[in-house]
Structure 1
Amino acid sequence: MTIKRQHVVKDFFPEAEALRTAYDGKVKNAYQQTVQWQYFCEPQMYTYLRTVPQQLFPEALWTRFTRHLKQWCIDHLGMLPTGAPNFHLMVNGCMLGMHSDFQNGTWGFVYSLTRWQARRFAGGETLLMRDGVPSYKKHHVQREVLYELVPAEFNQLLLFDDRIVHGTQAIEGSMDPLQARIALVGHLRATSPVVSGALDAAATRRVVLDFHRALAETARPHKEVQGVMSFRLSVNADGGVASVDVLTDNFVIPQSGHAPDDEVAAVRTLVLDAAAKLRFPDAGGPSKVTAAVLLPLPDLRPIEISIPHAGRPERLRESLKAQLKEGEALGFQVDVQGDSFAVREPLAGTIRIEGQRIVAAFDPPMWVPSQRDQFQAALNEKLGMLARYGG
C-alpha cells in the first residue's frame, strides 16, 4: 500500500474506549473539572478549545497510545510525529477555517474520539479541497466537485497531505463537552534513515546522504515536481538492494496536483531506480532501511550549532540529562554515551558538552526550509538557556 493524498485507518488503537472513558471522566462534572483549556480564537479563521493530552489521560495509557502511533507511522509511512499532538474540543460555533500546513509537516493527522454515530450536532467533518481549478463552464459547481468531507468516526486516524487546503466544518448543535467533536491533531515528517538488521546506522546514513546529493543533480531539470516519497529498502547481506517498497508518495506539480502526470512519473522512476542501485557496506546479514526524499532537494548541509558557556561541564551534562529524560524540553530520544548524547529522534545527531561550549550536530533533514529553520531556532534557544542557567 502506498499512501499518496489521504488515507483513513479504521479501529486504529485497541484501547480507544479507555481513552474516551478517561476523557469523559475529566469533563462530565463541571464542578470538579481541573483541565486547563486554551480558547483558541482567530476571528473568521479558527475557534476551538485545546489542551495537552496529558491533562486528560493517565500517563501509562497515553504512553501506550503515543508508542502505538509512532510505531504505526514508522511501519506504514516512514515518518514520525513532530511532537505531542494537541487535543481539540469543538462545540457549537467552533470551526477551523480553510488553511494549509506545509510549514508544520509532510502529513497532517486527525485521530478522532468523537461518538460520531450518536452525535447531536451537524458539521464537524474534515474538509479537504480537491485538486485543480473548478470549471466555470459547468452550470453549477458545489460540494463534492470542490471538496471531500471526511467524518470524524470514533477510533479513526485520518492522514492527509499537509499541503492540501483543509478545514473543519462549523459545529451546529450541542455545547456539552460529552457530545462534542473531540480529536487529537498533529503532523508527521521524515526522520533520519531508520535501520533494522545488521547494517551500521551511521554508515547507512552516509550512503543515503550521498544518494540525496546525487539526486540533487539528476532531478534538477524537474524543478516543478514537489513533495516527499518515503520507502523501505530490503538490503542483502552483501549490501545490495533486494527490493524497494514505497510507503508514501505525494510528488505533484502545481498544474495537476495529485492527478497522473508524465513529469511526476518520470521523477518517480528516477528516484526508485537510483534507490534500487544503492550499495551499502557488507554487513554479514540482511537489513531494512527506511528513508525519504524531499523534492526539490533541501539544504544537504548538516545542522551545526555551537553555544558558548561559562558553567561547569559536569553540571551542564546532568542538567541536560534531566531535560532529555523529561522528554518535553527538547523532544529528543537519546542514548547517553559518556560525555556525549547520541540523538535518534527527531533526527540522528549528537550533543556534546565541552569545556567552554555546547556543540550540537544533526543530519540534514528532508524538511522544507521553514521546518529546518524552526528546529534550529528552537534548539538554539533551548541550548542557550541550558548554557545560561544549567551550569
Structure 2
Amino acid sequence: MSIKRQHIASDFFPEAEALRTAYDGKVRSAYQQTVQWQYFCEPQMYTYLRTVPQQLFPEALWGRFTRHLKQWCIDHLGMLPTGAPNFHLMVNGCTLGLHSDFQNGTWGFVYSLTRWQTRKFSGGETLLMRDGVPSYKKHHVQGEVLYELVPAEFNQLLLFDDRIVHGTQTIEGSMDPLEARIALVGHLRATSPVVTGALDAAAARKVVLALHHALAEPVRPFKEVQGVMSFRLAVAADGSVASVDVLTDNFVTARSGHAADDEVAAARALVLDAAARLRFPDAGGPSKVIAAVLLPLPDLRPIELAIAHAGRPDRLRETLKAQLKEGEALGFQVDVQGDSFAVREPLAGTIRIESQRIVATFDPPMWVPSQRDQFQAALNEKLGLLARYGG
C-alpha cells in the first residue's frame, strides 16, 4: 500500500469502545465533570473546545492507544506523530474554517470517536479541497466537484496530505457533549531512519544520509517537485537492498497537484533507483530500514546546540532524566548512556551534560524549514531552562 493523498483506516483501534466509555464517563454529569477545556476561538476561522487526552482516558488505556497509533504509522507510513494529539469537542456552532497545515507536519490525521451513525447533528465532516483551480470553461461548478466530504465514522483514522486545504463542516444540532462530534487530531512527519534486524542503526543512518547528499545534484532539475516519499528497504545480510516498498508518496507540483505528471514521475524514479542501489555494511543477517526523502531537499546539516550552564552536571543530568520521560519534552524517547542521553525519537541524536555546557546534536531531519526551525527553537528553550534552573 502506497498512500499518496489521503487514506482511511476503519476499525482502527481494538479498544475504541473503552476510549468512548471513558469519555462518556467524564462528561456525562455536568456537576461532576473535572475536565479542563480550552475554548479555542479565532473569529471567522475556528470555534471548538479542546483538551489533552490524558484528562479523559485512563493512563494504561491511553498508553495502549498511543503505542498502537505510533506502530501503525511507522509500519504503514514510515512516519511518527508529532507529540500527543489534541482532543476536539465540537457542538452546535463549532467549526474549523479552511486552512492548510504544512508547517505542522507531512500528514494530518483525525481519529474519530463520534457515534456517527446515530448522530443528532448535521455537519462535522472533514472537508478536503480537490486539486485544481475552477476554470471559467467549466461554467457553473459547486459542491463536491470542488471538495470531498469525509464522515467522521466511529473508530476511523483519516489521514491526509497536510498541504491540502481542509476544514470541518459547521456543527448544527445538539449542545450535549455526549452527542457531539469528538475526535483526536494531530500530525505526522518523518523521523530518522528506523532500523530493525542485524544492521547497526547508526551505520544505517549514515548510509541514508549519504543518499540524501548524493541526490542533491540529480534532483536539482526537478525544482518544482515537492513532497515526501517514505519507503521500507529490505536489506540482505551482505548489505545489498533486496527490495524497496513505497509507504507514502505525496510528490506533487503546484501545476499538477496529485494528478499524474511527467516531472513528478521522473523525480520519483530517480529517488527509487538511488534507494535500490544503496549498499549497507555487511551485518550477517537481514534487516529492514524505513527512511524518507523530502523534495526539495532540506538543510542536510545536523542540528547542533551548545548552551552554557553554571550548575552541577550531576544535578542537571537527574533533572533532564526526569523531564525526558516517554511522551514528554518534545516527544523525546531517550536511552541513558552514562553521561549522555541517546535520543531515538523524534530524531536520532544525543544530549550531553558537560562541565560548563549542555550540548545537543541531532540528525538532519527530512522536514520543511519551518518544522526544523520550530523544533530547534523549542529545543533551545527547553535546554535553556534546564541550564538556568535545573542544576
CA distance in structure 2 between the partners assigned to 1:191 and 1:320 by the alignment? 22
1:26-49 CA-to-partner distances (Å, cap 9, x unmatched) read: 000000000000000000000000
| 1:6–1:160 contact (8 Å) kept in structure 2 | yes
1:255-295 CA-to-partner distances (Å, cap 9, x unmatched) read: 01000000100000000000000000000000000000000
CA distance in structure 1 between the partners assigned to 2:181 and 2:330 by the alignment? 31
| 2:234–2:286 contact (8 Å) kept in structure 1 | yes
Corresponding residue for 1:314?
314
CA distance in structure 1 between the partners assigned to 2:62 and 2:202 by the alignment? 32
2:337 corresponds to 1:337: yes
| 1:110–1:186 contact (8 Å) kept in structure 2 | yes
Corresponding residue for 1:143?
143
SS in 2 for 1:111: strand
Corresponding residue for 1:361?
361
1:134: Cα distance to partner?
Answer: 1.1
| 2:126–2:167 contact (8 Å) kept in structure 1 | yes
Corresponding residue for 2:11?
11
Q: Which moved more, 1:324-333 or 1:368-377?
A: 324-333
CA distance in structure 1 between the partners assigned to 2:53 and 2:325 by the alignment? 19
1:202: Cα distance to partner?
Answer: 0.5
CA distance in structure 2 between the partners assigned to 1:386 and 1:327 by the alignment? 18
User: What does residue range 89-104 of structure 1 map to in structure 2 within 5 Å?
Assistant: 89-104=89-104
The alignment's TM-score, normalised by the length of structure 2, stands at 0.99
SS in 1 for 2:217: helix
Corresponding residue for 1:264?
264
1:326: Cα distance to partner?
Answer: 6.0
Corresponding residue for 2:374?
374
User: What does residue range 186-335 of structure 1 map to in structure 2 within 5 Å?
Assistant: 186-325=186-325, 327-335=327-335
SS in 2 for 1:23: helix
Corresponding residue for 2:31?
31
1:207-258 CA-to-partner distances (Å, cap 9, x unmatched) read: 0001000111110010000000000000000000000000000000000100
1:327: Cα distance to partner?
Answer: 3.7
Kindly report the root-mean-square deviation, in angstroms, between the aligned alpha carbons of the 2 structures.
0.6
CA distance in structure 2 between the partners assigned to 1:223 and 1:329 by the alignment? 35
1:326-366 CA-to-partner distances (Å, cap 9, x unmatched) read: 64233200100000000000000000000000000000000
Q: Which moved more, 1:325-334 or 1:301-310?
A: 325-334
SS in 2 for 1:254: coil
CA distance in structure 1 between the partners assigned to 2:72 and 2:216 by the alignment? 30
Unaligned runs of at least 5 residues, structure 2: none
| 1:323–1:330 contact (8 Å) kept in structure 2 | no
Which residue type is aligned with residue 301 of structure 2?
R
| 2:87–2:184 contact (8 Å) kept in structure 1 | yes
CA distance in structure 2 between the partners assigned to 1:325 and 1:227 by the alignment? 32
Unaligned runs of at least 5 residues, structure 1: none
CA distance in structure 1 between the partners assigned to 2:137 and 2:358 by the alignment? 62
Q: Which moved more, 1:121-130 or 1:329-338?
A: 329-338
Which residue type is aligned with residue 244 of structure 1?
V
1:137: Cα distance to partner?
Answer: 1.9
CA distance in structure 1 between the partners assigned to 2:11 and 2:101 by the alignment? 26
User: What does residue range 144-159 of structure 1 map to in structure 2 within 5 Å?
Assistant: 144-159=144-159
| 1:126–1:151 contact (8 Å) kept in structure 2 | yes
SS in 1 for 2:270: helix
1:138: Cα distance to partner?
Answer: 2.4
CA distance in structure 2 between the partners assigned to 1:19 and 1:330 by the alignment? 25
CA distance in structure 2 between the partners assigned to 1:350 and 1:326 by the alignment? 16
1:135: Cα distance to partner?
Answer: 2.2
CA distance in structure 1 between the partners assigned to 2:325 and 2:204 by the alignment? 27
| 2:198–2:283 contact (8 Å) kept in structure 1 | yes
Corresponding residue for 1:62?
62
| 2:46–2:94 contact (8 Å) kept in structure 1 | yes
Q: Which moved more, 1:132-141 or 1:64-73?
A: 132-141
SS in 2 for 1:289: strand
